[in-house]
Amino acid sequence: MSLFAGSSFAASLAGFQAPEHGAVARHYVAARQDGNSSDNTIDMFIDSQYSGEDSASYAASVVNACPDMTVLALQCTAGPSYLEDGACGSNAEVFTVTHAPDMYSISIITETRTMGVDVTATAHESCAIAATAATCSADAYAEAEGTRTGSSAVTTITGSAFTDRIYPVTITGGAEMLASPTGTCENTAPALSVRNIAWCLAGAVGIAGFLAV
């Protein structure tokens, strides 16, 4: 089954998957405990399908630092050559992520027009981060022509699949807030409304990928 089944666009997320080498631009992040304050980099678990030779690079600025969690603005700064222009780099979309050493949460809303029909897709992912593994759950649904359908999945990432998803992330702003976290943070990231972009949800969970037309 595909996302758009028939002319009525009765959506099914069973086929709503990111292609192996498709133009997917969005990545999601959770910070681990590790960091290097001397060069403003932190090691972060990022549930991305790009690793090894296909690895991506990331930078983030601190939006708010709280005693139990931190809000980051994350951007993919470099990625595999097959990604579309604008997926990574200085003009790439910036996403707000709320995280703690043992969890993260993010919600995304994206809108597009496909085959003459307006489609809205919403996704939420959260991961429980441990020292050697991450358990991630994701929910996604799509709405088109008054029809809404969704799907969910849970997976545990261990071994090399886990370590391959740990990236050094450069903190480009707000690093001083990490030394004295006194803010007030919500426990989920705000939803973003982004038009005409390509994105992927949950490289390991793999339940949703969407390419805007």
Which single residue is written with the structure tokens 């700064």?
77
Name the β-bridge partners of 71: 64, 98
CA angle 120, 121, 125 (to 5 degrees): 155
Distance of alpha carbon 96 from alpha carbon 162, whole angstroms: 22
Q: What's the rounded mean pLDDT across residues 35-58?
A: 72
Beta strand 147-158 with 133-144 is antiparallel
Model confidence over 86-129: pLDDT tens digits? 778 888 878 778 777 887 777 777 777 778 888 888 877 888 88
pLDDT for position 176: 85
Q: How many CB atoms lie within 10 A of CB 5?
A: 15
Q: How confident is the model at residue 39 (pLDDT cuts 50, 70, 90)?
A: low
What are the residue boundaries of the structural domains of the chain, listed by start? 13-203
Listed range (10-14, 25-29, 181-185, 202-206) with the worst mean pLDDT: 10-14
CA angle 127, 87, 129 (to 5 degrees): 10
Judge whether residue 177 has pLDDT over 90.
no
Q: Are 67 and 187 in contact (CB under 8 A)?
A: no
Distance of alpha carbon 187 from alpha carbon 97, whole angstroms: 10
Distance of alpha carbon 50 from alpha carbon 38, whole angstroms: 27
pLDDT for position 186: 63
Distance of alpha carbon 187 from alpha carbon 17, whole angstroms: 27
Distance of alpha carbon 147 from alpha carbon 136, whole angstroms: 27
Listed in sequence order, the residues at least 6 apart from 50 whose beta carbon sits closer than 8 Å to its beta carbon are: 27, 56, 79, 80, 203
Judge whether residue 14 has pLDDT over 60.
no
Look at 209 and 10; give whichever has higher pLDDT: 209
Q: What's the rounded mean pLDDT across residues 31-59?
A: 69
Model confidence over 51-90: pLDDT tens digits? 666 778 889 998 888 888 888 888 888 887 777 777 788 8
Judge whether residue 48 has pLDDT over 90.
no
Q: Are 36 and 178 in contact (CB under 8 A)?
A: no
